[in-house]
């Protein structure tokens, strides 16, 4: 089963793309809630390139690596990656008031569909808020 979440990013397309794909930015926004954070991120943004984000509870009680391999990269438009036996796709669509970012991913069996949707949506919302603070590229 596929699950989709989306968020409007009120920032230029190039800013949204760079914020989504740059390790220094990913560690700023990639967490489901304030009790978690991403401590380290690597990105090799090319087909066959790998990524890894180390996500940990701030109290040190648990953590995991979210890692995968890019299967399609169209700058400022589209990303696809595999992670384990699952896949995800990210679309960046420029619209009149910003960029609509849509993430579609394969569901897993450990958590309910609602939990998965809520978690991925929370992360995408944090991404959008952070990207909006970066109105221009460094």
Distances (CA, A) of 95 to 11, 12, 92, 125, 128: 10, 10, 10, 17, 15
Q: State how beta strands 63-74 and 50-57 pair.
A: antiparallel
Q: What is the pTM of this model?
A: 0.94
Which pLDDT tens digits describe the chain residue by residue (138 residues)?
999 999 999 999 999 999 999 999 999 999 999 999 999 999 999 999 999 999 999 999 999 999 999 999 999 999 999 999 999 999 999 999 999 999 999 999 999 999 999 999 999 999 999 999 986 665
Q: What are the structural domains of the chain?
A: 2-132 (3.30.530.20)
Rg (CA), the chain: 14
């Amino acid at each position: 089963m596929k699950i989709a979440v989306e968020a409007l990013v009120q920032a230029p397309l190039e800013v949204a793309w760079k914020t989504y794909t740059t390790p220094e930015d990913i560690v700023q926004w990639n967490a489901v809630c304030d009790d978690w954070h991403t401590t380290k991120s690597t990105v090799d943004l090319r087909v066959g390139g790998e990524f890894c984000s180390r996500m940990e509870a701030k109290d040190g009680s648990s953590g995991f690596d979210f890692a995968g391999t890019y299967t399609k990269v169209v700058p400022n438009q589209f990303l696809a990656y595999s992670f384990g036996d699952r896949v995800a796709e990210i679309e960046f669509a420029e619209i009149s008031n910003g960029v609509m970012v849509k993430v579609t991913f394969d569901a897993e069996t450990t958590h309910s569909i609602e939990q998965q949707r809520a978690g991925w949506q929370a992360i995408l919302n944090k991404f959008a808020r952070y990207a909006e603070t970066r109105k221009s590229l460094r």
